[in-house]
Amino acid sequence: MARKRRSRNNNGQQQQQAAQNPRRVPRKALREPAPFAQSTSSEAEVSTEKLTIARARRGTPAHRPVRVYADGIFDLFHSGHARALMQAKNVFPNTYLIVGVCSDELTHKYKGFTVMSEDERYDALRHCRYVDEVVRDAPWTLTPEFLKLHKIDFVAHDDIPYTSAGSEDVYKHIKEAGMFVATERTEGISTSDLITRIVRNYDIYVRRNLQRGYTARELNVGFINENKYRLQNQVDKVKETVRTVEEKSKSFVCKVEEKSQDLIHKWEEKSREFIGNFLELFGPDGAWHAIQERSGRMLQVLSPYSSPRGSPSSSPTRRRSTSPGSSPSLSHSSSLSAPSSLSAPSSPSASSRKKGTRSSIKSASTYARHGQ
């Protein structure tokens, strides 16, 4: 129960705040376009009370909105038009915006030819979110009868004097009556600017529409220009194809370069690894030299000291036979005189010693070979 009472109190406070400040009232979603103004307005719906700008800015009751009128051609309806209408809609807290659209006849007479027809321009304004009502075939110059018919309180337009129809400013009498509220123009965009862009790039847009299926007759293009534009389209297609091929080839070359760089980096890493392993094995401090040194030491240990063959100076027999007092001739004769002792067969123990020595030498040599 307490929650329900609080919610009721909150709803009552919100309603009071909304009545005091209508700007805070949430707007419902727009589901339908704005209606067209009727030829006869019902006088009972709107009060005829005259409002001042100060009174309108303070806010009016919900049943008495401030009726603001904004008129124009609105050809090629763009964001500049929408921004001007947004300012007119928000100039007062409680505003009912009426938008007048001039007909083709008046526009062609006083301003020039339009791109959109009057029906298209009417319909474009109906679908603007800020518009509450649309007046078709609006007058070029506002008259008191027109203002009274639609019960207009204020007229919104930019403050720049609008020279037209033989008048220096068609809104001069509205400003003097105190019914004028100024809006600001949006720089950089206007209907004339959009038409200028199209005229400046005429060939581009003609070629664009030819590509989209429009005929030369619909575009008011002659036979020669039609063929020229079609040829230009073909040339552009070829250029685009060449550009696509160039981009693909560049991307392919970049991929190949990346892969080649990766391969080069991998090859460098593998080569460094191979060289390092080779140096560890065959370098001056490597395992191979250690194996050779060990095998050499084992050979020295296993094999007795013996002089190389064919060097008689280092023979033990020669050392024994040569004495300090004997002559070379005597030693030579003694060696020749004892052939029987040299050629005598050796004892079994001596032969076994020789065999053992030979077998040890063979085993050492095979060990060295396996080490290599």
User: What is the C-alpha to C-alpha distance for residues 111 and 27, in angstroms, rounded to an integer?
Assistant: 37
**Which tokens in the block code for residue 222?**
């002659």
What is the average pLDDT value for the chain, to the nearest integer? 77
Long-range contacts of 321-325 (CB under 8 A, 24+ apart): none
Verdict on whether the full-model pTM lies above 0.75: no
> Per-residue pLDDT averaged across 202-221, rounded?
88
User: Which amino acid would we find at residue 217?
Assistant: R
Among 75, 190, 72, which Cα is nearest to 139's?
Answer: 72
pLDDT reported for residue 222: 87
46 pLDDT more than 70:
no
Which one is predicted more confidently, 266 or 122?
122
User: What is the C-alpha to C-alpha distance for residues 73 and 140, in angstroms, rounded to an integer?
Assistant: 10
pLDDT reported for residue 120: 97
21 pLDDT more than 60:
no
CB 86 within 8 A of CB 186: no
pLDDT reported for residue 140: 94
- Give me the half-sphere count of Cα atoms (radius 13 Å) on the Cβ side of residue 117: 2
CB 157 within 8 A of CB 171: yes
How much of the chain exceeds pLDDT 70, in percent? Answer: 68
> Per-residue pLDDT averaged across 124-145, rounded?
95
44 pLDDT more than 50:
no
pLDDT in tens, 313-350: 544 444 444 444 444 443 444 443 444 444 444 444 54
> Per-residue pLDDT averaged across 62-84, rounded?
95
124 pLDDT more than 80:
yes
Which one is predicted more confidently, 12 or 153?
153
**Which tokens in the block code for residue 313?**
């100076």
pLDDT in tens, 221-280: 888 888 888 888 888 888 888 888 888 888 888 888 888 888 888 888 888 888 877 777
Burial 205-219 (b: 16+ CB within 10 A, else e): ebbebbeeeeebeee
The side-by-side arrangement of strands in the sheet containing 95-101 is 133-136, 95-101, 66-72, 154-158, 180-183
Among 90, 88, 187, 73, which Cα is nearest to 125's?
Answer: 73
pLDDT reported for residue 154: 97
pLDDT band of 281, cuts 50, 70, 90: confident
Among 81, 82, 41, 71, which Cα is nearest to 154's?
Answer: 71
